[in-house]
Structure 1
Amino acid sequence: MVVKVEPVTCVGEHLRELAELLILVVEDGASVGFLPPLLEPVATRYWEDVLEPGVLLFVAKVDDEIAGSIQLHLSSKQNGDHRAEIAKLMTHPKFRRRGVARALMQTAEARARQEGRSLIVLDTRAGDPSNLLYVSMGYQEAGRIPNFARSANGDLHPTVFYYKEIGS
């Protein structure tokens, strides 16, 4: 399986697939800011509004099908122009455990370096499989906040904050 990661500068041509990706990962329990059932108009609206200054979007494709996505948010603050944040790392359930998320992370890190960023931060729900990926890629835990994210059953879960110094 060959994973190709490419930047997205216009969501239009990918809108249907991105909305489907978001709906599927939310239904599968991902903590990406939405709860199931996620309706298609809500998912579509999210993607229509995602690209703004400082937000870089990448998709991973396998055989021309979107297998995942990631966002890199470049800090625009004067005292933060050395950092970026990883957001909304998503892998289509049928492509999990095949290197898609790692390829997306590597692409985001490389782009952060190109943008002159030396620090990447991110957060994820404690206990999710993504924690293993981040640690395996050299991210350091910075701390946890209890009761940060609500799940579909109403339970509250802690979030874990990670960082990685990548040089510039």
Structure 2
Amino acid sequence: MQVSTISAKFTLENCTAQQFDQHIDGLAGLLHACVKAGASISFIQPFDIAAAKAFWQSKVRPGLVAGTRSVLIARVGDIVAGSVQLDCDTPPNQPHRAEVAKLLVHPDFRRQGLAKKLMMALEELARVKNRSLITLDTRTGDNAEPLYTALGYKTVGTIPGFAKDPFTDTFDATTIMYKQL
């Protein structure tokens, strides 16, 4: 397990498939808290902890085991405070590209620079994996959009009515972004 200190408070780990099970409950709690706080990350209310755990086990674990997905975890002691994934499961004609998936920061740990540090670590990992183009999408107008812009991501455009709002029956636009490393 590679562990590094990213501030006096947080440690960052590149979680291996062998270590994944020890973090599953913390990751499920993180996802559940973010969705409950209104994050537009593929889930809508009602959303319980069992559904959060199932997501990590059925959608993330296979890629981690296959080596096509990396999971970075930020912790405060034993608490999972944040996470981000680098998805390198691209077609044969896109071996240079990766996608950011599920940048999550627990509501209790927001506004402390953790999202930025997770993204910087993700970009470094992408370089190590010889990926020179990173893509992502984010709900248009969310707090993450200016963060990505500040980190050098360029907006390609927006898609209206892309995803259902986590709490209402409305549909939100998404902004498509990229960065060349």
TM band (smaller chain)? over 0.9
Q: Give the structure 2 partner of residue 140 of structure 1.
A: 154
The residue matched to 1:80 in structure 2 has which SS?
A: coil
Structure 1 segments (4+ residues) deviating >4 Å = none
Equivalent-residue separation in structure 2 for 1:76 and 1:148 (angstroms)? 22
The residue matched to 1:23 in structure 2 has which SS?
A: helix
Determine whether 1:5 maps to 2:12: yes
Q: Is the 8 A contact 1:5 1:103 kept in 2?
A: no
Deviations 1:71-110 (A, max 9, x none): 1001431210000000000000000010111111011100
The residue matched to 1:81 in structure 2 has which SS?
A: coil
| Gapped regions of structure 2 (runs ≥ 5) | 1-7
- Match among 60, 65, 76 for residue 79 of structure 2: 65
Q: Report the TM-score when normalising by structure 1.
A: 0.95
Judge which range, 70-79 or 124-133, deviates more: 70-79
Q: Give the structure 1 partner of residue 139 of structure 2.
A: 125
Q: Give the structure 2 partner of residue 159 of structure 1.
A: 174
Displacement of 1:37 after TM fit?
Answer: 2.1
- Match among 35, 53, 58 for residue 44 of structure 2: 35
Q: Report the TM-score when normalising by structure 2.
A: 0.88
Equivalent-residue separation in structure 1 for 2:133 and 2:22 (angstroms)? 32
The residue matched to 2:121 in structure 1 has which SS?
A: helix
Equivalent-residue separation in structure 2 for 1:134 and 1:56 (angstroms)? 19
Identity %: 40
Displacement of 1:5 after TM fit?
Answer: 1.3
Q: How many residues align?
A: 166
Q: Is the 8 A contact 1:75 1:82 kept in 2?
A: no
The residue matched to 2:148 in structure 1 has which SS?
A: helix
| Gapped regions of structure 1 (runs ≥ 5) | none
Equivalent-residue separation in structure 1 for 2:11 and 2:49 (angstroms)? 26
Equivalent-residue separation in structure 2 for 1:20 and 1:35 (angstroms)? 16
- Match among 145, 150, 153 for residue 164 of structure 2: 150
Displacement of 1:43 after TM fit?
Answer: 0.9
Q: CA RMSD in A?
A: 1.1
